[in-house]
Amino acid sequence: MTMQSTLASLRDTNARYGMFHAMTEDTDAGDAKFLFSAKDNLTSMDMETCAGSRILEGYHPNFDATAIAKMRAAGGKLIGKTNMDEFGFGTFSANSAYEIPRNPFDLERSCGGSSGGSACAAMAIEDHVSLGVSTGGSICCPASFCGVYGIAPTYGRVSRYGLIDYGNSLDKIGILSTKAGDLRKYIGVMAGRDEKDPTSCVQPELRSGMVRVKSVAVPKDGIQGLSKDVESTFKASLEMLKSMGIDVEEVDMPSFKYAIPAYYVLATSEASTNLARYVGMRYGMQEGDLSLKFDDYFSSIRSEGFGDEAKRRILLGTFTRMVGYRDRYYAKARQVRQLVIDDYKSVLKDHDLVLTPTMPFVAPRFDEIERMTALESYKADYLTVPPNLTGMPHMSVPCGYDGNGMPVGMQFVADHWNEEVLFSMAEDWEAGFELRRPSA
Ligand code: GLN
């Protein structure tokens, strides 16, 4: 497909999969060098930006997020803003005030979340890459469910300027694509220190060239609780890695199982402060009754504008930060976070990468998701949350398909600033792996 024909059929593609919240009106590729889309929590000048929330309806930012600006400067044309869980709160992109994207391999199933629209677009639109954001797994999870490659780079590698924050100490902008080589290429485009984001780092440059991966470590807790299909596909992938000359060793990572509770304390604490700015005055929804006292006005807008999951997280996060509880929850969770980092650091002294499946099951059907409790869906992230807590770069790589043809992904984690090891691993794997695209 040419860029021109992709643009001409964009509306039809979206009608089928529902990946876009907003789309470009301009169907002329002009002198664009490549097409890209971006998760709808990245501000974009020419398209409404709502981050999946009703409360931001009508928000047209007057600036581009740095990541989007850099992609445009490299010749990219932004074709759409992708549907997502409200502010990134979710695992299936179903916690949204807007359209829920449908999995390209089975329209009755989820694309994963919270960057579900991005993974869907990366799979369904040829020769196109999509920007996603991960706080606790929101790039790897949907990449795995939609059968594409997805990377969350080292925290601080890509500027967060223009990103609508979920958890500032965790959020990372990354890339999803059907081609492993695109990850190296476009992280390279977006990386770098940015004056406008003090948490973006002066950083070691991304080196080109291949790194030979000699050994990967598989944490024992990372291979518990898997569905049969994921377990057998993952085992077969380990054999494949061995046949590529890579040592595979099971290791103990005692902190692994504490990552989920620590993450949900830290992430909701940060989210609850970030959401305080949405009061119907500066961005988005403003049609409240201005004759009310100001706090009644704020409450009325917030009651209407936030979805259930956002409200749950405001309550949880406010509780964990309260005087009297802070030490028991927030401070404790920070200590656990350090233990998780120490565990990864010590394993990565002797191994190039840590490896687990990305998700414990393949993309679930929407009726299955409806029956899940909040806790069940939080727990589904037990493989993606640990690397996110560490700030280390991690990548989901498609590694097989179950009996229904649904994709399975595996997740590699490298030490801080060692993205090259991930890129090399993915490119080597890609050479021997037959990636499937859904039949249209
Ligand atoms: N599913 C996790 C959550 O709901 C992670 C989401 C994310 O990375 N944005 O917090």
Q: What is the pLDDT of residue 197?
A: 97
Q: How far is the CA of 378 from the centre of ligand 1 (A)?
A: 8
| Whole-number pLDDT of residue 289 | 87
CA-closest residue to ligand 1 atom 5 = 136
Q: Is 269 tagged catalytic? A: no
Q: Residue 136: CB within 6 Å of ligand 1?
A: yes
CB of 390 closer than 6 A to ligand 1?
Answer: no
Burial of 346 per CB tally in 10 Å (0-12, 13-18, 19+):
exposed
Write the pLDDT tens digit of every residue in 163-204: 999 999 999 999 999 999 999 999 999 999 999 999 999 999
Residue-wise pLDDT tens digits, 418-440: 999 999 999 999 999 999 999 86
Q: Which residues contact 305 (CB under 8 A, 6 or more apart)?
A: 53, 54, 55, 56, 57, 278, 280, 284, 285
Return the best residue to mutate from 141, 171, 173 for the ligand 1 pocket (most ligand atoms within 8 A of CB): 141
Give distance in angstroms: CA of 431 to centre of ligand 1. Answer: 31
pLDDT digits (tens, 9 = 90+) for 52-72: 999 999 999 999 999 999 999
**All residues at 6 or more sequence positions from 265 whose CB lies less than 8 Å from its CB, including other chains:** 320, 329, 330, 332, 333
Q: Give the distance (Å) from ligand 1 centre to CA of residue 134.
A: 7
* Torsional class of 192: left (φ above 0), alpha (ψ -120 to 50), beta (otherwise): left
Q: What's the pTM?
A: 0.98
Least confident piece of the model among 14-18, 264-268, 435-439: 435-439
Q: Structure tokens of 72?
A: 């445009």
CA dist 52 and 100 (Å) reads: 10
Catalytic member of 39, 70, 77, 172? 39
Centroid of ligand 1 to alpha carbon of 388 (angstroms): 10
Active site residue 39: yes
Nearest in space to 357 (alpha carbons), one of 389, 382, 393, 392: 382
Q: What is the pLDDT of residue 341?
A: 98
**272 in active site:** no
Ligand 1 atom 10: residue of nearest CA: 89
Q: What is the mean pLDDT of residues 359-383?
A: 97
Kindly give the number of the ligand 1 atom that is closest to the alpha carbon of 135: 8
Instruction: Say how far apart CA 385 and CA 373 lie, in whole Å.
Output: 18
